[in-house]
A and B are shown apart, each in its own frame.
Chain A
């Protein structure tokens, strides 16, 4: 319990520090927070349950369009919009997962990519509803909890996204330690043995995929509300792939890894792209290579690895 309180405190402190240090970069900081939520969703299904996917953007996009349309046509309340996004993400994950979770490995990865592509194509064709390639415009979210209006500087947006990220983090921290979370780790380690202790691995994986879909949907909804725009890019392969790289960078299976990896990826991207708009990918590529080779458990394992290195251990990070 004290560990839980400490982690809440640390995240709060980091959030406040970022807010105070970079008051003119709130939009960028908010994008990081939204991305963290997406990467956390990936950590649940890939890091914990071992479900390989390169299509998490499908659920993110579904959540974004659902929240955008909900705000325009139904109700502008942001929290209700988040719920709409969560439901859309969960539904898409449950329906596609009903087929996908019967497959594994490369087949599964290809199918996850295909689902996101199909979603993008549907959104593109349904111009009348989604705005097609022009994007969904005219999203005007109301006050958060009826109290805080979204402002030009992005103060409300920042703290709103921060609060949602923190809640998602805490919910996942609880789930990771629950019997369900343990069973996902079990499936990751040995699906054969999970079946042999009487578990329907398919159903457990589908449940995890659906939960991950809901969280990705929340991330999409946040993005729709805060940027007040949803574009076809929400479904893009690039988004899925970048989320995966962020998770690997930070370290899979531990929720801090999702936060750390996202912050570092986006910060490096921000700085490197500003200095050299053409070659920033090399910097990211080099970073990923270094992590994969020297820190296979991701940057969260860096302190442990350094300690081992100091002791003269030869297998840093493993």
Chain B
């Protein structure tokens, strides 16, 4: 099968079961959302898929190939990338340098010694395009640490997109972003390449219903149900367990 194929995935931290027997598919072009209460195991699931954590059991295949043995960096090279729920940037570097780094690495130029990092016009053009896409041009030469949190979230997303992934996992991309700027995130998601497989973990239901064609509900490490946004909105169990609780 093309895309991501997860079977029977589980993860325990000591006695705590955080992922239990998860079956999950993410074919090219998918637009899925993963929702669930805090502590349901959403970030853990993303960490298992990207190789940050090792699963206790189950399998993860990508384009039919078992990727369990690949480490995080190798999975990135295969095209599986994720944004961090807690912003993780090169805070002392400028916004432009933050974006230049992943582009250089993707082009296999990150180890080059005897040319300037900013001397490749193709790479610079790509960096400029990302800056423009996320409305960051005016901030391009400021160190990331000087930016407002919402702006840092945009850099977080731009940095991950710079990797041109084939599977993109967004872990709460809008968390901490002022509502006046969420549209930038939504637009960025809507403008993603058609064939990219996208999984959004998010609490902002506006965002979820805008971008997702399919929603997976995770509760206490288990998939409760999966369906279209309409089905999920109508599902009594979901309303009670999640929407009802979190959103009045």
Contacts and interface: CB of A to CB of B under 8 A. Distances in A.
Contacts of A196: 50, 72, 76, 81-82, 84, 88, 160
Contacts of B113: 174-175, 178-180
Interface in A156-204: 174-175, 177-183, 185-186, 188-190, 192-201, 204
A207 interface: yes
Nearest to B163: A197
Contact of A192 (B88, B101, B114): B88
Contacts of B90: 185-186, 189-190, 193
Contacts of A175: 113-114
Interface string B43-57: 000000010000000
Interface-centre pick from A174, A178, A183, A200 (highest chain B CB count, 10 A) = A178
B105 interface: yes
Contacts of B104: 179, 182-183
Contact of A198 (B105, B111, B114, B115): B105
Contacts of A186: 90, 93, 101
A201 B110 CA distance: 11
Interface in B99-114: 100-102, 104-106, 109-114
A62 to B, nearest CB: 23
A183 B91 contact: no
B178 interface: no
Contacts of A194: 101
B89 interface: yes
Interface in B13-50: 50
Interface string B77-94: 100011010001111110
A167 B109 CA distance: 25
A194 B117 CA distance: 16
Contact of B109 (A174, A179, A181, A201): A179
A183 B77 contact: no
B111 A207 contact: yes
Nearest to B112: A179
Contact of B114 (A174, A190, A197): A174
Given A177-B116, A190-B88, A196-B82, A182 B76 contact: no
B159 A197 contact: yes
B114 A178 contact: yes
B246 interface: no
A196 to B, nearest CB: 7
B116 to A, nearest CB: 5
B73 A195 contact: yes
Contacts of B159: 193, 197
Contacts of B5: none
B110 to A, nearest CB: 5
Q: What interface size band does chain A fall in?
A: 20 to 34
Given A183-B104, A195-B72, A197-B102, A178 B77 contact: no
A207 B112 CA distance: 12
Interface in A191-240: 192-201, 204, 207
A192 B91 CA distance: 13
Given A179-B117, A199-B73, A190 B89 contact: yes
Nearest to A187: B90
B160 to A, nearest CB: 8
Contacts of B88: 190, 192-193, 196
Contact of A181 (B89, B105, B117, B162): B117
Contacts of B202: none
Contacts of B81: 196
A201 B100 CA distance: 17
Contact of A190 (B91, B112, B117): B91
Contacts of B105: 183, 197-199
B117 A177 contact: yes
Contact of B117 (A178, A195, A204, A207): A178
Nearest to B75: A198
A188 B101 CA distance: 13
A201 B71 CA distance: 12
A220 B72 CA distance: 39
B97 interface: yes
A200 B109 CA distance: 13
A178 B116 CA distance: 4
Interface string B113-140: 1111100000000000000000000000
Interface of B: 50, 72-74, 76-77, 81-82, 84, 88-93, 97, 100-102, 104-106, 109-117, 159-160, 162-163
Given A180-B110, A193-B159, A197-B159, 12 more contacts: A174-B114, A175-B114, A179-B104, A180-B111, A182-B101, A182-B104, A190-B91, A196-B84, A197-B102, A197-B105, A197-B106, A198-B102
Interface of A: 174-175, 177-183, 185-186, 188-190, 192-201, 204, 207
6 contacts: A178-B115, A178-B116, A179-B117, A193-B88, A197-B76, A198-B102
